[in-house]
Amino acid sequence: MKSKELLSGIFILSVFFSTAQNKIVVNTDLGHEKISKHIYGHFSEHLGNCIYGGYWVGEDSEIPNINGIRNDVVDALREMGIPNLRWPGGCFADEYHWMDGIGSAQQRPTMINTHWGGVTEDNSFGTHEFMELCNQLGAEPVICGNLGSGTVQEMSQWVEYLNSGNISPMTDLRKSNGRDEPWGVKYWNLGNENWGCGGNMTPEYYANEMRRYSTYTKNYGENRLFRIACGPNGADYNWMEVLMRNGNPGRSFQGISLHYYTIAHDWSHKGSATDFNESEYFMTMSKTLFMDELLEKHINIMDRYDPDNKVGLFVDEWGNWHDVEPGTNPGFLYQQNTLRDAMVAAVNLDLFNKYSRRVKMANIAQTVNVLQAMILTRGDKMVKTPSYYVFKMYKVHHDATLLPTDVESETYEFENKSIPAVSTTASKSDDGKIHLTISNLNPNKAVSISCELRGMEMINFEKGEIITADEVNAFNDFGKAEQVMLKSFADVNVSGNSLQVNLPSKSIVMLELN
């Protein structure tokens, strides 16, 4: 009898010590920063089949559509809670001339998309079509203006065309194209990647150009523009320093972008989206976590020049970049999307939430059929990817109050390297409900996590959801049952203001508490 009691005690102690290193403390009474819903934004470029065949099929298509925009994609994105959409690029933006995309479709000039596949762009999807898409989605439009190959007048007139209610040649032109009232577009990128495909500029030169363009992008009526300066590529801290020093932050621009893609190997060999080993998985997660350092260091620079926090950081291109699927056009950037991509999405969103004092918008690349897409289409068929389900799960954090958390996590180790196994976000919605999202990055081992909600005496577990699969390279494909989706989750034990959560390997969980 005593030996059984001793063994039982040893078991209890072993459980205690195995879980003690995985602990989350949520300070429910200390939150004050809002997690902007725009952190959960999206990006669609004239690239491959993102626009054409993705959203846009034309009014004469047999695929069910409203005004040429396919219904199934719109319905899925609305269900996911898309808050904004950035367009028309990307690199395409700085060679796009918006007047080519208005008026009669039969009279619109064509152009060569020199960045993506060398295909002919017929401009059948332009400003009016994009605004119709945003209207159907219920999403805020984010327009990226052409600073690279365009002119100040061209961008100034685009703003006037979209936003002015006055009598002028631009508003008369808009009305002649079927739109009487202005749309009132708030968010405007002043160029894209001007350190690279947008003109190969130095930060000093771009800062001067950006200030000039900013001067001539005007406010009309009650609408106030939120101008977004082209920010750095990854760890280019000098670019951020120059723009914050020379760019007149807060006046010439109210937001500054950051671009960073997760690439398992390097640009010449990015690796397969579906055929990868644990070494490539570990590298992917490790490089994803580098976003934490990027955000911290760039925000430190911003804080020196903008102590009043007037300028938002916009991570308006991010996500996994793999090699294209075999047999597809290399310039179309079509890649599958696995549970690994879902893990990358969850970690990045947790980091954006963590820095929500500065991070006010983020846009994963890209929404349909390109890079880390939410949706894949083939003819009249549509697939929701694992990344889609992460965004749908994380919808609970939209405009909620960030709750400060302290996390103690065991490590996920591989070949003498290690990363934290646990990633998390806690938030409180306006109705008082607390949502906790937790990811277990370890693909081999389940973890048990103790969670304490300080500031509360008693909690109730309302519901839970989980995203996982048998294999980390599981994906959803056409004509097959979904392998990765949202499922209910209830492996939670509650006691007072604490709970014990048991996460399977390679999983993402959402808990709703009251």
Separation of alpha carbons 129 and 122, rounded Å? 13
For 105, 123, 134, the CA distances from 108, given in Å and listed in that order, are: 5, 6, 22
Catalytic residue check, 317: yes
Calculate the CA 391 to chain-centre distance: 9
DSSP H or E stretch at residue 236 = none
Q: Which of these, 40, 34, 83, lies nearest to 357 by C-alpha position?
A: 34
Separation of alpha carbons 220 and 54, rounded Å? 33
DSSP H or E stretch at residue 425 = strand 422-428
The stretches of 177-270 forming alpha helices (DSSP H) are 203-216, 237-246
Please tell me the number of Cα atoms within 13 Å of 432 on its side-chain side.
4
Separation of alpha carbons 509 and 500, rounded Å? 13
- Kindly give, in sequence order, each residue whose CB lies less than 8 Å from that of residue 237, ignoring residues fewer than 6 positions away: 297, 298, 301
Q: Which of these, 243, 245, 268, lies nearest to 257 by C-alpha position?
A: 243
Q: What angle do CA 416, 422, 425 make, to 5 degrees?
A: 150
Residue tagged active-site, from 121, 140, 160, 317: 317
Per-residue burial over 409-434, b if 16 or more Cβ lie within 10 Å, else e, is bbebebeeeebbbbbbbbbbeeeeeb
Give the pair of three-digit tokens for residue 301: 């620079």
- Amino acid present at 121: E
Residue 33: CB atoms within 10 Å: 16
10 Å CB burial of residue 35 (0-12, 13-18, 19+) is buried
CB 31 within 8 A of CB 357: no
- Amino acid present at 450: S
Q: Which of these, 109, 133, 127, 192, lies nearest to 163 by C-alpha position?
A: 127
Residue tagged active-site, from 193, 209, 410, 452: 193
Which sequence positions are flagged as catalytic?
193, 317
